[in-house]
């Protein structure tokens, strides 16, 4: 695999191009989305809705846009994951007040999808594993102290291994003993 490393100048050019095209794309998506809200609610046209959802690229906040559209359009999702027009579906404002199609269009126009929902920061898989491992080590230490205090004597090496194995089953981590033994000083296991 060949990895191409660009220069600072090229990176700056790319950043500027992304900024410019990103702003244009945001505007284009919003303008098209508002038109789709109008077409679905006033004419029952679902074809543009389904096309629009299908063409969004990987970097678009597709779920945010979909939530925005669902909240402003009289639609429901079919089993095949496409959408259909539902004439009798009610549209609701956030306060629980029913909206007319005109009000839904006004709200959609005034609130772009990227401001309508909060973006969720994804959890790093590394952070998730580190957090689970840290929790498991803490649980092992706490349980060891509890057992030792109850029995009045330190656990043997085999008892610590057995305890780690039990915690492994509870936590759903396959190789806890080797992971914990690497993380804890040798004297504690």
Is residue 2 a part of any domain in this protein? no
137 & 112 share domain: no
Extract the tokens encoding 52: 């629009």
Q: Where is the domain boundary, 56, 83, 116?
A: 116
Half-sphere exposure at residue 67, Cβ-oriented, CA atoms within 13 angstroms:
14
Q: Where is the domain boundary, 92, 116, 140?
A: 116
For residue 2, pLDDT over 90 is answered with: no
- CB contact at 8 A, 29 and 65: yes
The pLDDT of residue 70 is: 93
Is residue 47 a part of any domain in this protein? yes
pLDDT classification of 152: cutoffs 50, 70, 90:
confident
- For residue 17, the SS3 value is helix
87-102 confidence digits (pLDDT tens): 999 999 877 889 999 9
98 & 134 share domain: no
Which structural domain, as residue segments, surrounds residue 79? 8-116
Distance of CA 48 to the CA centre of its chain: 26
Other beta carbons within 10 angstroms of residue 180's beta carbon come to 23
The pLDDT of residue 50 is: 94
pLDDT classification of 79: cutoffs 50, 70, 90:
very high
Extract the tokens encoding 16: 């500027």
pLDDT classification of 121: cutoffs 50, 70, 90:
low
- CB contact at 8 A, 117 and 67: yes
Report the number of secondary-structure helices (H) and strands (E) in the chain. 8, 4
Give the whole-angstrom CA distance, residue 161 versus residue 141. 12
Give the whole-angstrom CA distance, residue 140 versus residue 151. 16
* Phi-psi map region of 78: left, alpha, beta (phi>0 left; psi -120 to 50 alpha): beta
Return the biggest CA–CA distance within the chain. Answer: 78
The pLDDT of residue 10 is: 93
Number of structural domains in the chain: 2
Range 46-75 average pLDDT? 89
Q: Where is the domain boundary, 70, 87, 116?
A: 116
Other beta carbons within 10 angstroms of residue 74's beta carbon come to 21
Find the helix or strand (DSSP H, E) in which 5 lies.
none
34 & 60 share domain: yes
pLDDT classification of 127: cutoffs 50, 70, 90:
low
The pLDDT of residue 31 is: 96
pLDDT classification of 177: cutoffs 50, 70, 90:
very low
For residue 174, pLDDT over 60 is answered with: no
102 & 136 share domain: no
């Amino acid at each position: 695999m060949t990895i191409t490393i660009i220069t600072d100048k090229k990176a700056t050019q790319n950043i500027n191009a992304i900024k410019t095209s990103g702003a244009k794309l945001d505007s284009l998506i919003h303008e098209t989305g508002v038109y789709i809200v109008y077409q679905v609610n006033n004419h029952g046209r679902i074809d543009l809705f389904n096309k629009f959802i299908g063409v969004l690229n990987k970097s678009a906040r597709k779920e945010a846009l979909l939530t925005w559209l669902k909240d402003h359009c009289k639609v429901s999702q079919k089993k095949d994951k496409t959408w259909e027009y539902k004439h009798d579906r009610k549209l609701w404002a956030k306060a629980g007040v029913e909206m007319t199609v005109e009000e839904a269009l006004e709200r959609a126009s005034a609130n772009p999808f990227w401001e309508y929902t909060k973006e969720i920061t994804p959890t790093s898989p590394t952070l998730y594993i580190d957090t689970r491992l840290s929790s498991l080590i803490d649980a092992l230490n706490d349980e060891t102290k509890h057992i030792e205090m109850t029995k009045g004597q330190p656990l043997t090496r085999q008892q610590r291994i057995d305890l780690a194995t039990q915690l492994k089953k509870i936590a759903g981590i396959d190789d806890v003993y080797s992971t914990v033994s690497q993380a804890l000083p040798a004297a504690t296991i």
